[in-house]
Chain A
């Protein structure tokens, strides 16, 4: 055990001394999160919307005034009817329409509840979500204001309808994707390079001649990257919560446990590559081409897997990041518990065990 700690300490020294590695390790996640974050989730300001007011009563007017006052929206037209509406959506002239039904105020006063229809152009799903959220909060605000004065609580329900893309598929829920990407890159590439480097410089032989077990050599190489990757997970989550305002809906501990599993998967992959290669360049190339590209292409993070030809869809099943992406999206965005992601977890676990066995086996062969 003491030998193991000595070794792990040495590995940490390697990592901490290498400025370039450190920069990649900790700079990359931050840069990626920010690039993806701000490239894909620009704050929505002065969006062109249309209000269709069939009611023309005091309540609808008050809400329209509120919407108008908001810096997020710019009301292009206030229409009396809905004829021009569709055309305006088609051309992309407007992003959202708010429709007040006839007798809006009446309903509100007599039935204590009323509906407002909200239509949004979901071909840009991120934008659509943001806009509908804004308008809903304005309506909620108005409702709260009314309820302060009224004894009977009134309820205004915005009925949101996403046009063109009702399920908001392809939504740039990029944080899970970036997590998969960063972990893949850090763990696979860095571990592979770290081990191959010892082979290249000849220190691996010295280690193999020593009484230190080969398995331990590999394990102690992996430990620092395991810990550093967990730091990365934390920093990505912090950035997404505090900079990008993307809250974590599900259980954080579960998210960590799943991330740790995925990190281990990646480390095993890195070890596998390092066993099979002899130079740092080869290890890097294989990691980039063999791991990073599939992660980008087949995890569902950038390109929807459903749209791919069947053979590619099948192939996507062996890409570990696909499963991790699904898990993280489930936990982080949808707030799902373990009972919903156990299948994916099991698959990921299976892949890890498989890789571990294969790489340890080939490592032994090399020694004979």
Chain B
């Protein structure tokens, strides 16, 4: 069984900006361990002859020519913004980070 403790879950929750209660942290510690174990079984199925892959489709070098396409106006870009000011997105000041 993979070792996922409560602190690991709390750490992940903070990185993902997910607020979790004490009960949720306890429960997820057990559930995540099971999930990790399940995923791990994939590496047991793949033999040495199966190369590691990050993409299921055997494609490469899908490129775009360097030609300018469409853009939004500032109004369109900001149309879904919760708040804006002088053509820019307005966001709360974020401290403790740079």
A binds B: no
Chain A interface (Cβ within 8 Å of chain B)? none
